[in-house]
């Protein structure tokens, strides 16, 4: 490892900022570099642990992937139910010739369910 001071590897803007920090805190430039690096490393570690990214093991990643895959299957299942319900309503309406306000309301409800099916499945007991 090189015995050359770390501040020798800094660009001019960074050197100026470190020098200004050192003067403001009445410490040497070397101490300022050490303190700033330690502070940065500590902040980086706390950011990782706070977000949980530092603790992601292969098993935990696999568990998250399985959860996402299960949720996607549930969404697709709900979308299929609403589409078949909508098609059933359309066939029934066409076959019976019924076109009153109740049938219109049922049709509109099916359309709304199809449009919201990506989100609404979470709130229905059979789809959790």
For the chain, give every domain's residue range. Answer: 9-54, 58-127
* Residue pair 85/113 in contact by the 8 Å Cβ criterion: yes
Q: What is the C-alpha R_g of the chain?
A: 31
Give dist(CA 6, CA 20) in Å, integer: 16
Task: Write the Ramachandran bin of 93: left for phi over 0, alpha for psi from -120 to 50, otherwise beta.
Answer: alpha
Predicted TM-score (pTM) above 0.75: no
User: Tens digits of per-residue pLDDT, 45-84?
Assistant: 766 555 555 567 888 888 889 988 888 888 788 778 877 8
Q: State pLDDT tens for residues 2-20.
A: 556 665 667 888 888 888 8
CA distances from 28 to 6, 23, 85, 97, 127 (A): 13, 8, 75, 89, 64
pLDDT in tens, 73-110: 887 887 788 778 778 877 887 788 777 788 778 778 87
Q: Write down the number of H helices and E strands in the chain.
A: 4, 0
Backbone angles phi, psi at 4, to 5 degrees: -70, 135
Q: Determine the straight-line distance between the first and last CA of the chain, rounded to whole angstroms.
A: 57
């Amino acid at each position: 490892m090189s015995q050359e001071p770390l501040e020798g590897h800094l660009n001019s803007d960074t050197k100026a900022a470190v020098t200004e920090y050192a003067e403001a805190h009445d410490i040497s430039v070397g101490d300022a570099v050490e303190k700033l690096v330690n502070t940065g490393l500590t902040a980086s570690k706390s950011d990782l642990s706070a977000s949980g990214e530092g603790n992601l093991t292969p098993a935990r990643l696999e568990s998250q992937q399985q959860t996402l895959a299960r949720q996607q299957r549930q969404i697709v299942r709900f979308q299929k139910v609403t589409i078949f319900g909508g098609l059933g309503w359309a066939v029934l309406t066409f076959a019976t010739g019924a076109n009153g306000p109740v049938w219109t309301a049922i049709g509109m409800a099916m359309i709304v369910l199809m449009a919201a099916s990506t989100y609404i499945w979470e709130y229905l007991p059979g789809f959790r």
